[in-house]
């Protein structure tokens, strides 16, 4: 399946980050829908199943990305989810998907630290969607 038929939902309350990531994903040929909050992303998920979702961790809630990841996987188990965050740089807290226990409660397919290099983002999306 070509990328132009695949939908990507990107949710981030940082306008610059949202713009950079969405432009990179659009350049890969995907249809991109953006949300500037957890609440907006939840509304979009009511009517659209994305092939891939990229969520910032901290938006209006400290765990917005985890909540969105959980809700996305519950409704659309086949949707791939990336959590992208600068939480470690901002708080010193470490998160990851290194163990099965982490994967159970985080419910994401990939965890990436911001700033995400464009080539890294492209490589990870290609792997997740088997392109």
Digit-coded pLDDT (tens) for 23-37: 999 999 999 999 999
Distance CA 51, CA 2 (A): 12
Residue 47 lies in a domain: yes
Cβ(112)–Cβ(86) below 8 Å: no
Residue 50 lies in a domain: yes
Q: 10: closest CA among 112, 96, 83, 111? A: 83
Domain interval for residue 54:
3-125
Please give the tally of structural domains in the chain.
1
Residue 14 lies in a domain: yes
Q: 85: closest CA among 103, 107, 63, 112? A: 112
Residue 130 lies in a domain: no
Digit-coded pLDDT (tens) for 95-124: 554 545 554 556 788 888 888 899 999 999
Residue 131 lies in a domain: no
pTM of the model: 0.86
CATH classification of the domain holding 97: 3.40.50.2300
């Amino acid at each position: 399946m070509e990328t132009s038929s695949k939908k990507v939902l990107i949710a981030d309350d940082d306008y610059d980050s949202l713009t950079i990531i969405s432009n990179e994903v659009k350049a890969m040929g995907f249809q991109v829908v953006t949300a500037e909050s957890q609440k907006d992303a939840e509304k979009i998920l009511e009517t659209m199943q994305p092939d891939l979702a990229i969520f910032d961790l901290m938006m209006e809630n400290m765990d917005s990305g985890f909540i969105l990841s959980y809700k996305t996987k519950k409704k659309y188990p086949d949707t791939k989810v990336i959590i992208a965050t600068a939480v470690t740089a901002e708080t010193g807290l470490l998160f990851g998907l290194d163990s099965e226990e982490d994967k159970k409660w985080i419910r994401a397919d990939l965890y990436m630290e911001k700033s995400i290099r464009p080539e890294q983002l492209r490589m990870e999306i290609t792997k997740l969607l088997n392109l």
